C-alpha cells in the first residue's frame, strides 16, 4: 500500500499544482493601457526605416521629416473590417474586426491594429532611397469615408505621395469582401532621365506589451514577432531577445512570411513565393519594436513604371482558413507543449461543431468519444476498485490484527490482492490518462479563436471563460464526491482524508476555469459514475463482468 499511497499523493499534488498555476496566471491583472496617440507613432519612429543589404538595391536612407502634428486619416469600411489609414506613410494605424467583439465590452468591435486605445500597433510600409516615400512621408488621402459597395468584391484606396525629381509614387490598399487579406502595393512611375533603384519594406510596429495577459499550465500565450520559411520553419522571437540582440530567425530566403502574433489573432505580411526577400526585427526605443520584410524592386528605367507589393493578413487565427492563405500560417495557433494531442482534438471538435453548430455540444460529443476509446481501461480500473470495495471488511480486520506491524499488514494485504487478482493501483490509471487530455483541451479552449465568445446554452454565453454563476463547477464537485463514495475507502486514515478533500479543492479551482473545460469534466465524471456504479453493482452481487 505504500506504493499506492505514493502514487495517489503524487497525482493529487501534480493536479493541484497544475490547477493552481493555471488559475493564478489565467486570472492575472490585465496589462496597463498605453496612453499615446497616432501622432506618437510617427514621432517615435525616426530611426525605424529598415536598411537592405548590398544584395538588394537599397543604400543609406536619410530620415524623412514628416509634417508636425497629428496626421489626417481616412476610414475604410468593408463587411469584415473598419480600417483607419494615416496620411503619414499611408499606414494602417487602426483595424477593427466587425465579426469579433471586444473582450470586455461586447458592444464594441475587437481592435487589432491600434493607434493608442490600448496599444501602439500599426502596419507600415515604404520605399528606400533618396526622395522616395517611406512610412513617414505625408500622402494625399482620398476625400470622405471609403465604403465597399454592396455589390463590389473589392475596394481599392489610392494614396499619392509628393512627386520628387520626376518620380511619382502611389500606394494602393485593396480590401476584399469577406476577407481579412489586404493587398499593399506601390506604383512607381519614373519620369526622370535616370534609372531608379529602390527596395520596398513592409513592417509591423508594435509596443512590447502583451495583447492579453493569459497564461496557462506554466506556459504563457505568446505576443511578438514570428517568422516562417520552408527551411527554418516556424520561429517565434520575443521582444526581450530583440532588445538584447539575441533574436534568432531566418534572415534571407525566397519564401516565407513575417507576422506579429498575439492571443487569438495575427497580422502577417505574405510576399509571393519565389521572390527573394530579407527579414528583420529591431528595437526602436524603450517601448517600440518593428519586424518586417524587405523586397527588391527591379531597376526602373526612365519613362517606365514598376509595381511592387505583398499581401497583408490581419485577423483571427481561424485554423481552417490560415493554411489556405499561406503555407505554415496555421502554425501561429499555439497549443503549447501538448500540441500533438491538442491539434487532433481540435480537429475532432471542429467536425462535431460542423455537425451540431454548437461548440458546447461538440465538447460533450468529444467527451463521449474519449470515454468510449478508454472504455476497456476504465472498465478494468473500476472492476479492480469494485473488488477492493468488497474486501473492505477483510482489510479492516487485518488492520485491527496487525495495526502495529506495518510490514506484516502490507504483506497480508498483498497476499489478498494476489489471490483475488486485484491491482491496487488500477484506480489511478483513468486519472493518469485524463491529465494530458485535460491540459490539451484547456489549451484548445484558450488558444482557439473559434472558442472565443462561443455560447453553449442558457447562462453559458462564452465557453472560453469561467461560468458566470459557478453552476458547472458546483455540479463537477458533486460528481467528484459521488465518485469518491463509489471508490473503496482507503485503510490509511491520512490517505482517506486526502482523497475526500479532492472534490472540495477541485471545485474551488474549477470556479475560475473556462466553462468548456468544466463541461468536459462534468460529462466525463457523469459517464464514469454510470460505468463505475454498474460494475460495482455487478461485482457486489456476484455477477461476472
Which residue did the predictor score with more confidence, 141 or 406? Answer: 141
d(CA 277, CA 531): 60
Q: Which of 197-201, 519-523, 527-531 has the lowest mean pLDDT?
A: 527-531
Q: What is the pLDDT of residue 492?
A: 62
Q: What is the pLDDT of residue 197?
A: 94
Q: Please state, as a whole number, how many other Cβ atoms lie within 10 Å of the Cβ of residue 145.
A: 10
Q: What is the pLDDT of residue 353?
A: 95
Sign of CA dihedral 142, 144, 146, 149: negative
Triad 462, 467, 471: Cα angle to 5°: 135
Q: What is the pLDDT of residue 34?
A: 36
Q: Which of 144-158, 424-438, 504-518 has the lowest mean pLDDT?
A: 424-438
Contact between 233 and 223 under an 8 Å Cβ cutoff? The reply is: no
**Hey, which of 24-33, 355-364, 413-422, 457-466 has the most confident mean pLDDT?**
355-364
Mean pLDDT within 412-427: 66
Q: Which of 29-38, 48-57, 511-520 has the lowest mean pLDDT?
A: 29-38
For residue 505, give the 3-state DSSP assignment. Answer: helix
In three state form, how does the secondary structure of 427-449 look?
A: HHHHHHHHHHHHHHHHHHHHHCH
Among 54, 90, 63, CA closest to 278: 54
Confidence of residue 485 (pLDDT cuts 50, 70, 90): confident
Confidence of residue 175 (pLDDT cuts 50, 70, 90): very high
At 473, list the grid cell: 463547477
β-bridge pairing 288-296 and 73-77: unpaired
Per-residue pLDDT tens for 357-385?
Answer: 999 999 999 999 988 887 777 666 666 66
Residue 61 has pLDDT above 60, yes or no: no
Triad 470, 520, 448: Cα angle to 5°: 95
**CB burial of residue 213 (10 Å; 0-12, 13-18, 19+):** middle
Q: What percent helix, strand, coil does the chain show, rounded to 5? A: 40, 25, 35
Confidence of residue 402 (pLDDT cuts 50, 70, 90): low
Confidence of residue 193 (pLDDT cuts 50, 70, 90): very high
Mean pLDDT within 415-442: 70
Residue 458 has pLDDT above 80, yes or no: yes
Which percentage of the chain shows pLDDT scores above 70?
74
Contact between 237 and 225 under an 8 Å Cβ cutoff? The reply is: yes
**Hey, which of 135-144, 219-228, 513-522 has the most confident mean pLDDT?**
135-144
Say which residues have a Cβ less than 8 Å from residue 17's Cβ, sequence separation at least 6. none
Q: What is the pLDDT of residue 187?
A: 98
Name beta bridge partners: 288: 207
Q: What is the pLDDT of residue 45?
A: 42
User: What is the secondary structure of 354-365 as a DSSP string?
Assistant: HHHS-HHHHHHH
Which percentage of the chain shows pLDDT scores above 90?
54
Which residue did the predictor score with more confidence, 464 or 382? Answer: 464
Name beta bridge partners: 82: 77, 96
Per-residue pLDDT tens for 326-339?
Answer: 999 999 997 877 88
Among 111, 159, 114, CA closest to 135: 159
Question: What is the pTM (predicted TM-score) of this model?
Answer: 0.80
d(CA 382, CA 364): 22
Contact between 473 and 511 under an 8 Å Cβ cutoff? The reply is: yes
Q: What is the pLDDT of residue 7?
A: 44
Contact between 454 and 463 under an 8 Å Cβ cutoff? The reply is: yes
Q: What is the pLDDT of residue 227?
A: 98
How close are the terminal C-alpha atoms of the chain, in Å?
26
For residue 308, give the 3-state DSSP assignment. Answer: strand
Q: What is the pLDDT of residue 407?
A: 73
Q: What is the pLDDT of residue 380?
A: 66
Which residue did the predictor score with more confidence, 492 or 102? Answer: 102
Q: What is the pLDDT of residue 225?
A: 97
Confidence of residue 181 (pLDDT cuts 50, 70, 90): very high
Mean pLDDT within 26-30: 42
For residue 543, give the 3-state DSSP assignment. Answer: coil
Q: Write down the mean pLDDT value for the chain.
A: 82
Amino acid at each position: 500500500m505504500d506504493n499506492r499511497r505514493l502514487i495517489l499523493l503524487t497525482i493529487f499534488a501534480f493536479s493541484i499544482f497544475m490547477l493552481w498555476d493555471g488559475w493564478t496566471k489565467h486570472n492575472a491583472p490585465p496589462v496597463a493601457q498605453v496612453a499615446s496617440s497616432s501622432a506618437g507613432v510617427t514621432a517615435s519612429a525616426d530611426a525605424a526605416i529598415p536598411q537592405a543589404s548590398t544584395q538588394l538595391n537599397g543604400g543609406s536612407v536619410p530620415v524623412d521629416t514628416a509634417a508636425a502634428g497629428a496626421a489626417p486619416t481616412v476610414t475604410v469600411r468593408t463587411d469584415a473590417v473598419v480600417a483607419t489609414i494615416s496620411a503619414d506613410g499611408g499606414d494602417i494605424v487602426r483595424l477593427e474586426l466587425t465579426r469579433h467583439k471586444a473582450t470586455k465590452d461586447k458592444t464594441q468591435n475587437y481592435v487589432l491594429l491600434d493607434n493608442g486605445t490600448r496599444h501602439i500597433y500599426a502596419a507600415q510600409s515604404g520605399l528606400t532611397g533618396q526622395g522616395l516615400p517611406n512610412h513617414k512621408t505625408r500622402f494625399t488621402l482620398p476625400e470622405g469615408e471609403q465604403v465597399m459597395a454592396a455589390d463590389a468584391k473589392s475596394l481599392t484606396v489610392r494614396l499619392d505621395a509628393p512627386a520628387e525629381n520626376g518620380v511619382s509614387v502611389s500606394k494602393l490598399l485593396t480590401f476584399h469582401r469577406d476577407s481579412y487579406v489586404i493587398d499593399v502595393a506601390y506604383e512607381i512611375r519614373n519620369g526622370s532621365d535616370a534609372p531608379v533603384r529602390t527596395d520596398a519594406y513592409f513592417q509591423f510596429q508594435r509596443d512590447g506589451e502583451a495583447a492579453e495577459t493569459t497564461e496557462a499550465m506554466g506556459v504563457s500565450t505568446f505576443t511578438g514577432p514570428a517568422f516562417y520559411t520552408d527551411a527554418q520553419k516556424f520561429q517565434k522571437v520575443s521582444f526581450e531577445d530583440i532588445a538584447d540582440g539575441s533574436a534568432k530567425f531566418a534572415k534571407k530566403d525566397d519564401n516565407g512570411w513575417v507576422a506579429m502574433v498575439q492571443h487569438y489573432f495575427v497580422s502577417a505580411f505574405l510576399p509571393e513565393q519565389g521572390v527573394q526577400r530579407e527579414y528583420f526585427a529591431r528595437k526602436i526605443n524603450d517601448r517600440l519594436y518593428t519586424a518586417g520584410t524587405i523586397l527588391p524592386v527591379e531597376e526602373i528605367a526612365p519613362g517606365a513604371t514598376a509595381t511592387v507589393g505583398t499581401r497583408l493578413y490581419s485577423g483571427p487565427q481561424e485554423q481552417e482558413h490560415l493554411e489556405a492563405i499561406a503555407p505554415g500560417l496555421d502554425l501561429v495557433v499555439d497549443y503549447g507543449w501538448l500540441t500533438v494531442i491538442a491539434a487532433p482534438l481540435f480537429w475532432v471538435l471542429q467536425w462535431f461543431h460542423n455537425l451540431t453548430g454548437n461548440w458546447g455540444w461538440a465538447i460533450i460529443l468529444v467527451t463521449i468519444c474519449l470515454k468510449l476509446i478508454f472504455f476497456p481501461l476504465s472498465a478494468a480500473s473500476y472492476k479492480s476498485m469494485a473488488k477492493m470495495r468488497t474486501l473492505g471488511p477483510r482489510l479492516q480486520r487485518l488492520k485491527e490484527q496487525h495495526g502495529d506491524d506495518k510490514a506484516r499488514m502490507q504483506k497480508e494485504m498483498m497476499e489478498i490482492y494476489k489471490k483475488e487478482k486485484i491491482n491496487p493501483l488500477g484506480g489511478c490509471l483513468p486519472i493518469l490518462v485524463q491529465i494530458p487530455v485535460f491540459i490539451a483541451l484547456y489549451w484548445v479552449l484558450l488558444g482557439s479563436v473559434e472558442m472565443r465568445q462561443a455560447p453553449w446554452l442558457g447562462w453559458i454565453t462564452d465557453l472560453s471563460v469561467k461560468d458566470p454563476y459557478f453552476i458547472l463547477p458546483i455540479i463537477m464537485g458533486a460528481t467528484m464526491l459521488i465518485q469518491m463514495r463509489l471508490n473503496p475507502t482507503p485503510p490509511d486514515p491520512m490517505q482517506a482524508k486526502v482523497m475526500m478533500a479532492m472534490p472540495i479543492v477541485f471545485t474551488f479551482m474549477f470556479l475560475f476555469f473556462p466553462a468548456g473545460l468544466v463541461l468536459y469534466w462534468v460529462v466525463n465524471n457523469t459517464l464514469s459514475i454510470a460505468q463505475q456504479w454498474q460494475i460495482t453493482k455487478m461485482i457486489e452481487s456476484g455477477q461476472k463482468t
